[in-house]
Chains A and B, each alone.
Chain A
Amino acid sequence: MLKGRAFKFGDNISTDHIIPGRFAPLRSNLPELAKHVLEDADPTFASRVKKGDFIVAGSNFGLGSSREHAPLVIKMAGVSAVLAKSVARIFFRNAINLGLPVLICDTDGINDGDELEVDLAKGTVYDKTNGQQLTFGKLPEVMLKILGEGGLLPYIRKHGDFKL
């Protein structure tokens, strides 16, 4: 069970919002990079987010660049999962490959600051603040297997190739 607070964002949060290209040379210094996570969407986010918290967004979260810095800095910041109505495809793959759960559900009812409990196995989000329970779609089998092994690298190390 994942527990934390909701940090609410709107539609079309781009990878440039998440971590602008101007910080890309900092890649080798992840803790420094993570200080700038989502800075251009909410300059206070990085200082307020705590381990276990959730990003709750609208549609098409993570559009833009293929740079893995985006899901990586989100994970580094302690975020336990991203909840969104829909997610851009490269961000989706990258997040799963790095072991950051991305959950597709109707996020309209969740407000900024709500206390959430997410059960990955059951596929449920319980909003303790408003008493609402949501379900999210099951991830494709191949993604579950990759998440189950802890990301793509451990998966390939174990299987040698993609077993579909």
Chain B
Amino acid sequence: MTLAEKILAAHSDKKRVSPGDFINVRVDLVMSNDITAPIAIREFQKLGVKRVFDPQKVVMVPDHFVPNKDIASAEQAKLMREFARKQGIIYFEVGEMGIEHVLLPEQGLVLPGEVIIGADSHTCTYGALGAFATGMGSTDIAAAMATGDIWMKVPPTIKLVYNGKLEKWVSGKDLILYTIGDIGVDGALYAAMEFSGEAIESLSIDGRFTMANMAVEAGGKAGLFGVDNKTQLYVKSRAERPYLVYEPDGDAEYSRVIEYDVSTIEPQVALPHSPANSQPISKLKNIKINQVVIGSCTNGRLEDLRLAAQIVKGNKVHPGVRCIVIPGSQQVYLDALIEGLIETFVRAGAAVSTPTCGPCLGGHMGVLADGEKCVSTTNRNFVGRMGSPKSEVYLANPAVAAASAVAGRIASPEEIQ
């Protein structure tokens, strides 16, 4: 069995599972946020169930429209807060919260070998730690909050092998944008993606989170990494419950095996309006921009801020650009503050915000006007994603985003350093 099949089998009443099997899966954690939880709560209440199946396995994070941007979003956050307190589930208030997919791993709430479902499509992020994690809608989440179970169709697994060594400024973001550019936004539709190879072993945990995060952008149900020493080091100090590590069998059957030589891959930029429109940075000349966003569940971790700060240090954000930096959690914010990264950003003329998903989905804190162009370290650049349907989003890694903020146009980190 593949890594995904092993984990799913261990959470079902079957010894072996195969792609296409319909199984009932026990879940280790059920997550929702301020957009999706209110619907899940209302549906949960309609079920006539009084208590969630296990308050220690249900978590709600206000992160999309908080601190509340308007009355409607304040009402949603309030509904969620009141439900969380009443049920005694895990909840993080403004001031201690973060973007869910940065926060939960950091808090030791998602662990290797677990099955996690979340009412957010980027729940697949947790695959970086060797978990089977996938996004669902609020109604599925309501059912799982009541029962502790969810039905799943066992996905086929696509194995992606990244050989060779990464060039300077090439990160997990570039590998996943390159991959989506190669296989397309439906290249892994319904499938689990299993990432492996020399370049993956050398990748930091933060880089792995970035890759797993965007598995859904290739249509994937989950994106999984094997557990190695780096994973153990990350998890050990955080885990408050035991966990099991699974490995794919030597004779695991993959629906497809794709190999890449990463030594030829440059930093990538995904042009509007699809994450699959990725291009090497060297091909992009003189694309003037109005805004840069550095943050999100894709690239809002400490390593990302370090890279961006390294580029902007001693430079100024271009006068034609608004540069918005959003640490992914309070812990990331605090670490960045202590390291002096926040000072670097502020001195360079960037705006630094409290953690929020805000601009990524055109919510608040950096919405775009007609005709504006933004380089963003987020995960989606669909039409209207960040505001006006006539605006454009270019997806890139934090170093490219920071270099572009300084240059006032899409630029390579090499040009600034």
Query: Is A160 interfacial (CB-CB < 8 Å)?
Result: yes
Could you tell me the distance in whole angstroms from the C-beta of A75 to the nearest C-beta in chain B? 13
Q: Does B248 contact A (CB under 8 A)?
A: no
The reply to whether the CB of B165 lies closer than 8 angstroms to some CB of chain A is no
Is A152 engaged at the interface, CB distance under 8 Å to the other chain?
Answer: yes
Chain B residue contacts of A39, Cβ below 8 A: 389
B residues contacting the other copy or chain, number (CB 8 A) = 57
Q: Is the CB of B65 within 8 A of A24?
A: yes
The answer to whether A25 touches B384 (Cβ under 8 A) is: no
A76 interface hit (Cβ, 8 Å)? no
Could you say which of A11-19, A46-54, A113-121, A128-136 contacts chain B? Answer: A11-19
A156 touches B147 (CB 8 A): yes
B136 touches A90 (CB 8 A): yes
Chain A interface bracket (under 10, 10 to 19, 20 to 34, 35 or more)? 35 or more
What residues of chain B lie closer than 8 Å to A66, measured between beta carbons? Answer: 36, 118-121, 123, 135-137
- B70/A25 in contact, CB under 8 A: yes
- Segment 30-63 of A: residues with Cβ below 8 Å from B: 39-41, 59-60, 63
Does B11 touch A at the CB level, under 8 Å? no
**Could you tell me if B153 and A140 are in contact, using CB atoms closer than 8 angstroms?**
yes
Among B39-47, B318-326, B398-406, the stretch that binds chain A is: B39-47
A40, A64, A89, A152 interface centre (most CB from chain B within 10 Å): A89
Residue A22 CB within 8 A of the other chain: yes
Q: Mark B42-84, 1 if CB is under 8 A from A, else 0.
A: 0100111000000000000000110001101101100000000
| Interface flags, B113-150, vs A, CB<8A=1, else 0 | 00000111101000000000001111110110011011
Answer whether A21 and B147 are a contact pair too, CB < 8 Å, given A27-B38, A157-B47: no
- Residues from chain A with Cβ under 8 Å of B137 in the complex: 66-68, 71, 90, 93-94, 97
> Which A residues touch B22, using CB under 8 A?
140-142, 164
Q: Provided the pairs A60-B219, A63-B219, A151-B139 are in contact, do residues A161 and B76 lie with their beta carbons within 8 angstroms?
A: no
> By the criterion CB–CB under 8 Å, are B76 and A27 in contact?
yes
Contacts of A142 in B (CB 8 A): 22, 151
Query: B108 an interface residue at 8 Å Cβ cutoff?
Result: no
Determine whether B6 belongs to the interface, using a CB cutoff of 8 Å to chain A: no
Tell me the complex Cα distance, A67–B39, Å: 10
Residue B102 lies at the interface, judged by CB distance under 8 Å to chain A: no
A22, A88, A151, A156: the one within 8 Å of B387 (CB): A22
Verify if B367 is at the interface (C-beta below 8 Å from A). yes
Considering the complex, which residues of chain A in the window 119-164 have a beta carbon less than 8 Å from any beta carbon of chain B?
140-142, 151-153, 156-157, 160-162, 164
Interface contact A152-B143, CB-CB below 8 Å: yes
Q: Are B135 and A153 in contact (CB under 8 A)?
A: no
Query: Which B residues are CB-close (under 8 A) to A156?
Result: 47, 143, 146-147
Shortest B100–chain A CB gap in Å is 12
Chain A binder among B184-192, B204-212, B305-313: B184-192
Docked pose: A24 CA to B143 CA in angstroms: 22
> Which residues of chain B come closer than 8 Å to A41, judged between CB atoms?
383
Residues on A with C-beta less than 8 A from B72 are: 25-28
Known contacts A40-B383, A140-B153: A27-B139 contact under CB 8 Å:
no
A68 to chain B, nearest CB (A): 4
Contact A12:B274 (CB < 8 A) given known A25-B65, A63-B219, A156-B143:
yes
25 A-B pairs (CB sep. < 8 Å): A12-B185, A12-B186, A17-B384, A21-B361, A22-B387, A24-B65, A25-B72, A27-B72, A39-B389, A40-B383, A41-B383, A60-B186, A60-B189, A66-B123, A66-B136, A68-B137, A86-B186, A93-B136, A152-B142, A152-B143, A153-B143, A156-B143, A157-B46, A157-B47, A164-B22
Closest CB pairs A-B (n = 6): A21-B361, A25-B72, A94-B137, A60-B186, A16-B382, A97-B139
A residues near B (Cβ < 8 Å) are 12, 14, 16-17, 20-22, 24-28, 39-41, 59-60, 63-68, 71, 86, 88-90, 93-94, 97-98, 140-142, 151-153, 156-157, 160-162, 164
